[in-house]
Structure 1
Amino acid sequence: MTGAGSTRDHLIESTQELLWERGYAATSPRAILDRAGAGQGSMYHHFRGKEDLAAAAMAATAQQLLARAEAALTGEGSAFERLAGYLLRQREVLRGCPVGRMTGDADVLESAVLRRLVATTFDSLRAHVDAVVRAGVRDGEFDSAVDPAELADTVLAVVQGGYVLARAAGDPAPFDRAVRGAVAMLDHLRRKDTV
């Protein structure tokens, strides 16, 4: 490692990995330091403590997740094609959602800072999906009776629920079925005269 910036970055990256693997409660400062290859006082030199470091790591994870979602949702194609692209994109299904998994950690939910990061991430993701659905309704691709906010929450619930089902089964097949089912539902909602 060279310089303070790289130590800070290594601490954040290591914390991102450990949070995804273990969750917040099961991630100790010692595990973070060991994973980062950092010295004893490094964490407290760069962060006020574990919660502050976890917040920085969760913010970085959220930014990465939102960037991947935006790439699918703001790309070329119809609203249906963009939503289908988001649902069907490659994911590490059996690892679960690195943000969604935090909702199962009581310590995250008890922390106003960490809970707000999770909620804000899903609010941003919901807004991106909602905007695509609204464009589809506006352009006549989806029927005007479609409620963009409801459909956006449905899309997010399918993805997050698919992760849970796949992890419980130890098999990505339930996730794959869920997202394919959601794509079929979206196809059913399309106005057939625009297909």
Structure 2
Amino acid sequence: MDTRERLIQSTCELLRERGYVGTSPKAIQQRARAGQGSMYHHFTGKPDLALAAITRSAEDMRDRAEAEFTGPGTAVERLTAYLRRERDALKGCPVGRLTQDPDVMADPVLRRPVEETFRRLTERMAGLLEQGRAEGELGAELDPASTATALGAVLQGGYVLARAADSAEVHTRAVDGALGLLAGHRTTPSRKEDR
């Protein structure tokens, strides 16, 4: 890993652990094993490096989700794979935690990748739910946009509850509960599928 990558990775980790204010240039340099000159050779300062790190975390999160969204199975099976994907619930979501950082949320440039990530994930989930409705897997009464928003809230809220209880099992139960509610909208297979 080159110096620029080490700086970005170290900043990702520190932002998740300490937040924006607690992530000092010195701490970044120490963790990345890079000097001040190297840091300022690649980035104009802490805000520029923080933006690169936040963008990286956001892209990684979207890429991992997209792997499940485009994987094998029906629309609901792909959505289930995304919701049940292994996560480190006690560390929290690397992007979701940034929403609790007032300095990140107050800066429109730093906030943009966070906002964009959750918007895109919600849209992708809504698209899968819409596909499930169109293919007869889910009932017509299901509202894809509202349901996708609720599923995103369950994932993010599950992190909060898991951290509060110091138990990753709480996050798993939150996801299981959401999937149980979604199961209430499943339809019976059509005659076409029985053939």
Calculate the TM-score normalised by the size of structure 1.
0.94
User: Partner residue of 1:31?
Assistant: 27
Aligned-partner residue type, residue 105 of structure 1? D
Deviations 1:15-35 (A, max 9, x none): 111112222121111000000
Q: Is 2:165 the partner of 1:169?
A: yes
Choose which of 98, 114, 118 in structure 1 pairs with 2:110. 114
Aligned-partner residue type, residue 74 of structure 1? T
How much has 1:192 moved relative to structure 2?
2.6
Q: Is 2:97 the partner of 1:101?
A: yes
Q: Is 2:191 the partner of 1:188?
A: no
Q: CA RMSD in A?
A: 1.4
Uncovered stretches (5+) of structure 1, i.e. residues with no partner: none
Inter-partner Cα distance in structure 1 for 2:114 and 2:53: 12
Inter-partner Cα distance in structure 2 for 1:58 and 1:146: 34
How much has 1:183 moved relative to structure 2?
1.1
The count of aligned residue pairs is 191
How many percent of aligned residue pairs carry the same amino acid? 52
After the TM superposition, which segments of 4 or more aligned residues of structure 1 sit over 6 Å from their partners? none
Choose which of 46, 52, 66 in structure 1 pairs with 2:48. 52
Q: Is 2:113 the partner of 1:78?
A: no
Aligned-partner residue type, residue 146 of structure 1? L
Uncovered stretches (5+) of structure 2, i.e. residues with no partner: none
User: Partner residue of 2:132?
Assistant: 136
Contact 1:80–1:186, Cα closer than 8 Å, also in 2? no
How much has 1:63 moved relative to structure 2?
1.1
Inter-partner Cα distance in structure 1 for 2:89 and 2:140: 33
Inter-partner Cα distance in structure 2 for 1:162 and 1:186: 17
SS for the counterpart of 2:93 is coil
User: Partner residue of 2:175?
Assistant: 179
Deviations 1:44-75 (A, max 9, x none): 22112111101101111111111111111111
Contact 1:72–1:83, Cα closer than 8 Å, also in 2? yes
Aligned-partner residue type, residue 182 of structure 1? A
Inter-partner Cα distance in structure 1 for 2:37 and 2:159: 37
User: Partner residue of 1:156?
Assistant: 152
How much has 1:141 moved relative to structure 2?
0.9
